[in-house]
Amino acid sequence: MKKISLFFIIFLLASSAAAYDEKQREIEKALFVTAGAEDRVLKIGLVDCIAYALKNNSEIKVERISPQLKKDDVKIAYGTFEPSFTTELTLADNTEVASSRLQGAGKYNTQDINLNAGISGKLVTGTEYSLDFLNQKYKSDSTYQIYNPYYTAEPKITITQPLFKGAGVLVNKADILIARNNEMQSEESFKDTAISTISKVKNTYYKYVFFVEAYAIEELALERIMKLLEINKARYAKGLASSVDILETEAEVAQKQKIILTAESEMKKAEDELKLVTNLVDDPEVWNARIELIDKPQFVIVDANLVKSVGLAFDNRPDYKSAKIDLENRDIKIKAAKNALLPTFDLNGSLGLNGLGADYGKALQKVSPDYPDWSVGVKFSVPWGEADRAKYNQRQLEKLQTLIAFKRLEQNIIFDVRDRVREVNIQARQVEVSKLYQDKEGENFRAQKERYAEGQVSTHDMLDYQDKLSRAQLSYLKALVEYNVALISLDKSEGLTLVKNDVKLSLASD
């Protein structure tokens, strides 16, 4: 009956939890639907987008936990040197045929009780130690025992020190050193993921900026054409323009409206991409909001120097730091494997002080240097076979593989930084040239506009001048955005993305 009741209670709890989850999903769905019908505007800047991404990105969440897992691995590795307390109680009763007349009977019985406690452990030098306190109560049918029962007490220390195999701090702390390095690698991996996320967010942000501004430029171009159409209609009414002028302008209006629709579509796609990388799509309140950007791309000259940037990359890039740590791990493993090739030659010794009495108290009183119990010895063994040698060879080949990959990484970093520096410098010049191009086309348009008012320029030419101005404005916008994107790539290649964006990462345990 109790089992049935317990099952019923578990069933009710599970049903309640399922019902609660279903209710939560329904509420969330309703919020999404409601937000889809609202005309909401979300004003955010570049810093906000980075914060949204770092807070909600699943890869960031996963990588943020990894260093804590590796930190626990360090504690686990230290467990080898943590002392252990042990206690042992043994009761023994033995009855057998007497082997001596002195035992006093045909059957001979002994009762033995042992209660031992001790602390044992290992030092980083490889020294193994044991501090024990041995206690015994012994009773028998023997007639020649002075005390029956008798009690013994013996404090005892035992030490084993390897001289070859297993000796040395590095060999014994190898697992700890590797675990610490793995923890540092995990932190670098966390930084690398954060850098990639931030760079992706910034690139997507500026992509959206470009399409928003491009859409605005096309709308402004349409506005200029519409004004030209009004002028042509007024001129046509006065007999100063032909129907062809009106027709040509109307065709250009239709063409520009088509371009604007394409620009709007691209803008919406870029907006959705920004919502995706910032995880705003998961927020039921703002997933359908129109995004208005606070920050606009600026043209700030950056002194991109190849030698300086390469130095910064080798000092800051997480992937390079991680690769250097991996090389350190390979060296540690090689040294540990080399030590395993040595023969075992261990010194061991023990020292105890015996105490014996008719009761336990007297046995304790007798514990003194007058009744020592000591031993010394050596243990020697030589590995038989090729397993340890093969392992050592493996570790050396693994180091060689890692070193080749490390050199390739260094080359890739140098080429990557060179390309990023080159791109920044070229894009900086592109901005300057595009700005001049835009300014001159603007001046030309204003001059041609005055000539058009005086009837010196045809409608066809005026439309062409307007189109050139729009293309010049788009060219400058594109150059400005691509320059900022190049700076993002340079920061990433130098490993300075976190610093440049004032981002301080915290681990799962912080």
Domains of the chain, start order: 46-57+176-329+394-500 (1.20.1600.10), 88-167+346-381 (no CATH)
C-alpha torsion angle, residues 201, 202, 204, 206 (rounded to 10): 160
pLDDT of residue 26: 55
CA 168 – CA 204 distance, rounded (Å): 54
pLDDT, tens digit only, all 510 positions of the chain: 444 455 554 555 555 555 545 555 555 555 545 545 566 888 888 999 898 888 878 888 888 888 888 999 999 999 999 999 999 999 999 887 766 665 555 677 889 999 999 999 999 999 999 999 999 998 887 777 788 889 999 999 999 999 999 999 999 999 999 999 999 999 999 999 999 999 999 999 999 999 999 999 999 999 999 998 898 898 888 888 888 988 999 999 999 999 999 999 999 999 999 998 988 877 777 777 888 888 887 878 888 899 999 999 999 999 999 999 999 999 999 999 999 999 999 999 999 999 888 888 888 888 889 889 999 999 999 888 789 899 999 999 999 999 999 999 999 999 999 999 999 999 999 999 999 999 999 999 999 989 988 888 888 898 999 999 999 999 999 999 999 999 999 999 999 999 999 988 887 655
Angstrom CA distances, 48 to 64, 500, 504, stand at 20, 15, 15
Name the CA dihedral angle for 173, 175, 179, 182, rounded to a multiple of 10 degrees.
Answer: 110
Question: Which spans in 278-317 are helix H?
Answer: 306-316
Burial code (b: 16+ CB inside 10 Å, e: under 16) for 363-385 equals beebbeeeeeeeeeeeeeeeeee
Residue that has been written with the tokens 């690769």 in this structure: 323
